[in-house]
Amino acid sequence: MNARLNFYGSSITPNFAKYINSAGKVVTDSTLPHATQELVKIRASQINGCGMCLDMHTKDAAHAGETAQRLNLVAVWREATVFTEAERAALELAEQGTRIADAAGGVSDEVWAKAAEHYDEEQLAALVCLIALINAYNRLNVIVQQPAGDYQVGQFG
């Protein structure tokens, strides 16, 4: 399978990626726990059907010490007992933030309040930016049908 567009064969996409990656570094360097960041990226990517991002973020999470059990249960986090209440709040916010077009009111006040119980203002800001960022990456990869499976940990940074 080949992508519809070679991201590196254009002058636009590498420059766009450079800037979007810089924005992502702000989130990566925040106090939002790294495990939570990876779980959120994985869940949004599952919802959006982004194989490339799932390949990348599951491998990165495993490399960082995340367990196979938790990675395998991200899609069913509501039924799984392996996630903290804070992680559950982040995953719920990620789901509603990703499915924003499907909900008349966007993210509910209840979901926001749950997240705010576990994260301070800076972490909430990082979480919101992370959800927006991974959704942008998902859309880029899904639109061009970027193949998945060949990602190597650290490949892009």
Per-residue pLDDT tens over the stretch 75-120: 999 999 999 999 999 999 999 999 998 877 789 999 999 999 999 9
Per-residue pLDDT tens over the stretch 27-59: 999 999 999 999 999 999 999 999 999 999 999
Predicted local confidence at residue 9, as pLDDT: 82
Q: Give me Rg for the CA atoms of the chain.
A: 15
What are the φ/ψ torsions at residue 122 (nearest 5 degrees)?
A: -65, -40
Give how far the C-alpha of residue 144 lies from the chain's centroid of Cα atoms, to the nearest Å: 18
Q: 53 CB contacts (<8 Å, ≥6 apart)?
A: 41, 44, 45, 134, 137, 138, 141
pTM (two decimals): 0.94
pLDDT band at 137 (very low <50, low <70, confident <90, very high): very high
Predicted local confidence at residue 85, as pLDDT: 98
Structure tokens belonging to residue 151: 């990602």
Domain ranges of the chain: 34-144
pLDDT band at 7 (very low <50, low <70, confident <90, very high): confident
Model confidence at 157: pLDDT above 70: no
What class has domain 34-144?
mainly alpha
